[in-house]
């Protein structure tokens, strides 16, 4: 009599990493943010935030949303290794960069969403840009 193994797809395809909001504060040090103080309407500019990660993690996507010319939410994601393999205890940073265009003059609030380490709680860093 033969034997066989039944396994679900979840068991076979399980990933060793999770997509999570990036760490933007590491033991009290906050992430570096690149954001101009003043921009011109209709002219694109780069916005960047660096996230803290471990040596087995990798950079994920950066999502933006908001209300035009009022606020912009920036959410940097990283892929955090959760598998059994040992990783070097090395701190790395990832440069999450997006290109933005503001169309109307005014003050726009940028809200950078992420997590704190070591506790993993969510936090937000705020910056303002003048559009003129």
Residue 106: the pLDDT is 96
What distances in angstroms separate CA 59 from CA 77, 96, 108, 118, one per listed residue? 7, 8, 27, 19
pLDDT for res 8: 35
Q: So what's the pLDDT on residue 10?
A: 38
Q: What is the pLDDT of residue 12?
A: 37
Contact 9, 72 (CB under 8 A): no
pTM attached to this predicted model: 0.85
Q: Got the DSSP string for 36-55?
A: -SEE-TT--EEEEEEEEEET
Structure tokens at 7: 């396994």
Please give the average pLDDT of every successive group of 10 residues along the chain, which has 132 residues. Answer: 40 70 97 97 97 96 93 97 88 97 96 96 98 96
Give the pLDDT score at 5: 40
């Amino acid at each position: 009599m033969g034997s066989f193994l039944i396994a679900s797809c979840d068991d076979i395809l399980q990933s060793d990493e999770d997509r999570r909001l990036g760490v933007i504060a590491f033991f009290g040090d906050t992430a570096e943010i690149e954001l101009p103080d003043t921009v011109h309407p209709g002219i694109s500019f780069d916005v960047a935030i660096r996230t803290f990660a471990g040596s087995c993690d990798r950079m994920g996507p950066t999502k933006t949303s908001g209300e035009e010319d009022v606020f912009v939410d920036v959410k940097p994601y990283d892929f955090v290794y959760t598998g059994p393999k040992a990783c070097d205890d090395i701190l790395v940073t990832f440069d999450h960069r997006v290109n933005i265009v503001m169309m109307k003059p005014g003050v726009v609030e940028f809200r950078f969403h992420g997590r704190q380490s070591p506790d993993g709680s969510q936090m937000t860093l705020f910056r303002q840009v003048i559009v003129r």
